[in-house]
Structure 1
Amino acid sequence: MDILPFPCTIFKTQKRMDDYSASDMRCGDLTEAQLKTHYHLMDISTRANPYTLTKITPFNQPHSMFYGSRGEGEKITRQQCASILFDELRHLSQTFALYSPYKYLIEKMIGHMQSGNGTPFRDIALDRALREQILHDRSPDNSTRLRLENAFTDNIDWENMSFPLQNKDRLKDAMTRGRLPKFDRFQDKFNGMGIAVHDTWATHITIKSLHIDHDRYRAVVHYKIQDHFGLDSDDISTFTYNQFRFFRIWFVLQRYNQFGFKPFMTNMEAVVEISGGRYAG
């Protein structure tokens, strides 16, 4: 009987890692006319008008009682306008990051978009948040960790203390039927992870090692997850995104051909240990 070798990657999403051709990775590809006509993006910022490159004051804010009384606001350069918009983006992000050790992440990621020129982003806090999410998911039907735990118990050859190669697909099936780690829980709306990551793009799950000792086993599992810090047309066209000034500013900074700030890959990794026994059930 052939034995499954380790390390062994048991699951990969259909969406691939480092997919720079994805729609949410586009930048600088839309004109002012397209932004206004197709996406109805007229009211962008309360501080600067990205189309006229002017500062916004109570006298040129359309919702103000003083609107129009003193003409246009102060002219600014494109670089000054972008800086103002990024500062406003950081300010607005606080609404989505009210507490937790991860509340500062979104500001770091906004800063990376402003100056990182599209390079990938890593932060130890992201890895920690991913690991906590995996460990705290205790849903027997959804948790990939718990499903993998059961798959080991059911498919290990206990008599020979090994994992048969022919049972590899049982591990993959357990992952496919589970729910991959994401940050779309209720608490993620306020702890900073929902705005920093929320959904994910690609996931790889690898069994690094499996040790079987009589009626017990211990496995080390590596999760590698990638998200895109970028917005596509579908995002900004939905009410959920379009209603918030935060996303309207983000979309303009990324997609307007006068700015074109590059989105980037957000990389996360976590290693968890899974253990169980022959008679765990």
Structure 2
Amino acid sequence: MGSKSVSDEQLITELFDEFRFYARVLSFGPYSGIIQKMIINFRNNKGDSFSSPLLDKALNELILNDKRNDSIFNKIKSTINEHIDWNQVFSDNKKEYITKSIAAAKSLEFTRLCPLINFH
């Protein structure tokens, strides 16, 4: 049996079609449409970033609901409150300390079941 020759563009189109199909099957809830838009943007991307008000809202909620002491939001808030005196000149030492302190913060982790399977 001979193999069918497929152009690169045909192969890319078929792979993205399959990607969109499985994304529809595996995504549901308020973000399912966004997944499709992200895939289309990824396929047609010419260096443009993808943005969505709904994803921005979801990320904002995730950040604000992250109650860990070492979360990025809590670390920034506590570092600013503890180490910035708005009535004094900002020193280089303070700047270095604040930069290191914030860099040590934990980024968001998608380890809960809901974010992992897009369940809402």
Q: Hey, what does 2:44 align to over in structure 1? A: 115
Measured after TM superposition, the shift of residue 111 of structure 1 is 0.9
**Paired residues, number:** 114
Within a 5 Å distance, the mapping from 1:132-143 to structure 2 comes to 132-141=61-70, 143=71
Contact 2:79/2:102 (CA < 8 Å) preserved in 1? no
The verdict on how the C-alpha distance between 1:169 and 1:79 changes in structure 2, with shifts beyond 3 A counting, is: closer
Quick check: which one's helix share is greater?
Answer: 2
For structure 1, list consecutive stretches of 5 or more residues without a partner in the other structure: 1-50, 54-75, 193-281
Measured after TM superposition, the shift of residue 163 of structure 1 is 5.3
Contact 1:151/1:170 (CA < 8 Å) preserved in 2? no
Q: Hey, what does 2:4 align to over in structure 1? A: 52
Distance in 1 separating the partners of 2:21 and 2:68: 36
Compute the TM-score of the two structures, normalised by the length of structure 2.
0.71
Q: Hey, what does 2:74 align to over in structure 1? A: 146
Distance in 1 separating the partners of 2:77 and 2:7: 58
Distance in 2 separating the partners of 1:136 and 1:181: 11
1:110-140, CA deviations, whole angstroms, 9 ceiling, x for partnerless residues? 1122223343322222322222221111101
Quick check: which one's strand share is greater?
Answer: 1
Distance in 1 separating the partners of 2:56 and 2:111: 17
The verdict on how the C-alpha distance between 1:168 and 1:96 changes in structure 2, with shifts beyond 3 A counting, is: farther
Distance in 1 separating the partners of 2:88 and 2:66: 26
Contact 2:84/2:90 (CA < 8 Å) preserved in 1? no
* 3-state SS, counterpart of residue 32 of structure 2: coil
* 3-state SS, counterpart of residue 95 of structure 2: helix
Identity %: 25
**1:189 has 2:116 as partner:** yes
Q: Hey, what does 2:87 align to over in structure 1? A: 162
Look up the equivalent residue of 1:179 and give its one-letter code: K
**1:93 has 2:23 as partner:** yes
Q: Which has the larger radius of gyration?
A: 1
Look up the equivalent residue of 2:43 and give its one-letter code: Q
1:38-84, CA deviations, whole angstroms, 9 ceiling, x for partnerless residues? xxxxxxxxxxxxx834xxxxxxxxxxxxxxxxxxxxxx665444333
Structure 1 runs of 4+ with >6 Å offset: none
For structure 2, list consecutive stretches of 5 or more residues without a partner in the other structure: none
